[in-house]
Structure 1
Amino acid sequence: MSELDAQRQALKDQIIAERGYWHPFHQGLLERDPDFLAAYLAFLSQPWRTGVLQPKVREFIYIAVDASVAHMYERGMRRHIEFALERGATPDEVLEVVELAAGLGGESAILGVRILAEELKAIRGEDVEAAALSEEQKRLKDEFIAVMGGWPDYGDAFLSLDADYLRSFLAFVGGPWKRGTLEPKIKDFVAIAVNSSPATLNPDGVRRHIRSALDHGATSTEIMEVIQLAAAIAIHTCTIGVPNLVEADAARTGIVG
């Protein structure tokens, strides 16, 4: 075995040991750009080497960002659900992570309402944010704050425009936040991950849930690890791209590998 072959085999062994699997994109990069493959391993493995979160919580982060409606990477979600269960998670915990991720996708409605309220005021002079709330709307607002821990920007506009929809929105988004399967800071970790992932990039959501996590006793080290884990889905560009390159090149040249 040549020195280069030995180095590649050592890198493959290290990836299998640290990541728990070997994927066709690993093989493609090992053959074509082992330096980039080594850089990938360092990027993804750093939080596992030095982090402080429980292994199952790390898997929760991967499940959430893979399951997020902005990403929906089924293969990764399935793999990390299996890993989470192997590392002591319960099915109820995993289900709550999935439900949290689904609800976070629903926050697009908050963004839409904010822009609608701004444009109604700018173009038609209608200030739906300033409309007086009925007693029923005030009770719904109080319920929202109790469940979600705060009131979104333009929440009053949301109430004025469609209180019934806000009620159904709260039932969908707020359900997993009301239950106690996961501790509060872990729920915030899931929300930080989904909002900060490359597929979502929602700074308002990141800030809101970092504040909430700190209020629930999270450390900066824990939150930094969550951010690092969420960023890992950047590699999915290679997960999809590299095998397709290998296949296309093989079809063109008749040479596999």
Structure 2
Amino acid sequence: MAAASTPSLADLQQEFPFLVDAAMSFAIGEVWDRPHLAPKSRELAMFSALAALGRDGYPQLRLHVQYALNFGATPVELREIVNLTLVTAGVPKALNVAPEVRAVVGGLPRDQAAAAAETAGSRRARGEATLSSLNGGPTDISADAVLGTLAEDFPLLVNAALSFALGDVWSRAILDPVGR
């Protein structure tokens, strides 16, 4: 379950009653209880946010990994969010989040998606296809609002975004586009 360093609300009640009351009444009672997201989606979003926060989010991260599992998330989906953290928050944060996930779920099954993606065409072509699907149709890279403006001065960055971020990570089918 949660790491010993993650205090429960009961542990905090004596010294921080206002904090516990705010967490229970507002954060959990009013915000968390809203019906607009399914509990699993809410926990995956929370896990993603904590992963992106970095070190400040880690004390609560293991707790929310367990909550996500309780609501039906799979270890493979959690690993995929770590992979997305690599792209959205950076390598150091993803490297720090991975052991936190492993501490809760134990060993993760071998990643079959990476091997399957490698056989599905070139990385750049997958990235361009993924960008087109995100844009809702064919995309001319030179006219793209972000990549097109960077292509001339930062071709390595554009290639990394297309080949790695979109082609290797974002194109994976483990999470559906809404979940990603």
**TM-score normalized by the length of structure 2:** 0.58
Kept in 1, the 8 Å contact 2:76–2:174? The answer is yes
CA distance in 2, matches of 1:140, 1:102: 18
Structure 1: how far apart are the matches of 2:126 and 2:68? 36
Paired amino acid for 1:71: G
2:176 is aligned with 1:183 = yes
Q: After superposition, what is the alpha-carbon deviation per residue over 1:52-88, rounded to whole angstroms, capped at 9, x for unaligned?
A: 42222121112101111x4342232222222222322
What is the rounded CA distance, in whole Å, between the counterparts of 1:159 and 1:140 in structure 2?
18
Q: CA deviation at 1:27?
A: 5.4
Q: From 60, 71, 79, give the equivalent of 1:95.
A: 79
Deviates more, 1:163-172 or 1:37-46: 163-172
Residue in 2 that maps onto 1:105 = 89
In structure 2, what is the equivalent of residue 162 of structure 1?
Answer: 154
Is 1:35 equivalent to 2:23 in the alignment? no
Q: Shift of residue 28 of structure 1?
A: 6.7
Task: Answer whether contact 1:63 1:98 (CA < 8 A) is retained.
Answer: no
Q: What is residue 49 of structure 2 aligned with on the other side?
A: 65
1:51 aligns with 2:35: yes
1:38 is displaced (CA, Å) by 0.6
Task: Give the counterpart of 1:80 among 14, 39, 64.
Answer: 64
Q: Give 1:54's aligned amino acid.
A: A
Structure 1 residues 98 and 26: CA distance shift in structure 2, 3 A: same
Residue-pair matches, total: 134
Maintained 8 Å contact 2:80/2:175: yes
Higher relative contact order (CA 8 A, sep 6+): 1
SS in 2 for 1:88: coil
Superposition deviation, residue 154 in structure 1: 4.4
Indicate the residue corresponding to 1:145 in structure 2: 131
Deviation of residue 25 (structure 1)?
Answer: 7.1
Show CA shifts across 1:214-241 (max 9, x none).
xxxxxxxxxxxxxxxxxxxxxxxxxxxx
Identify if the C-alpha distance between structure 1 residues 184 and 164 changes in structure 2 by more than 3 Å, giving closer, same or farther: same
Q: Indicate if the aligned counterparts of 2:126 and 2:163 stay in contact, CA closer than 8 A.
A: no
- CA 147–102 in structure 1, closer or farther in 2 if over 3 Å, else same: farther
Is this contact kept in 2: 1:56–1:89, CA < 8 A? yes
Contact 1:140 1:167 in 2 (8 A): no
The answer to which of 28-37 and 144-153 deviates more is 144-153
Q: Map Cα deviations across residues 174-202 of structure 1 (whole Å, 9 max, x no partner).
A: 23321222222222xxxxxxxxxxxxxxx
Q: Deviations over 1:110-145 (max 9, x none)?
A: xxxxxxxxxxxxxxxxxxxxxxxxxxxxx8995563
Query: Identity across aligned pairs (percent)?
Result: 23
Which residue of the partner structure matches residue 113 of structure 2? Answer: none
2:131 partner letter: I
How far apart are residue 98 of structure 1 and its match?
1.9
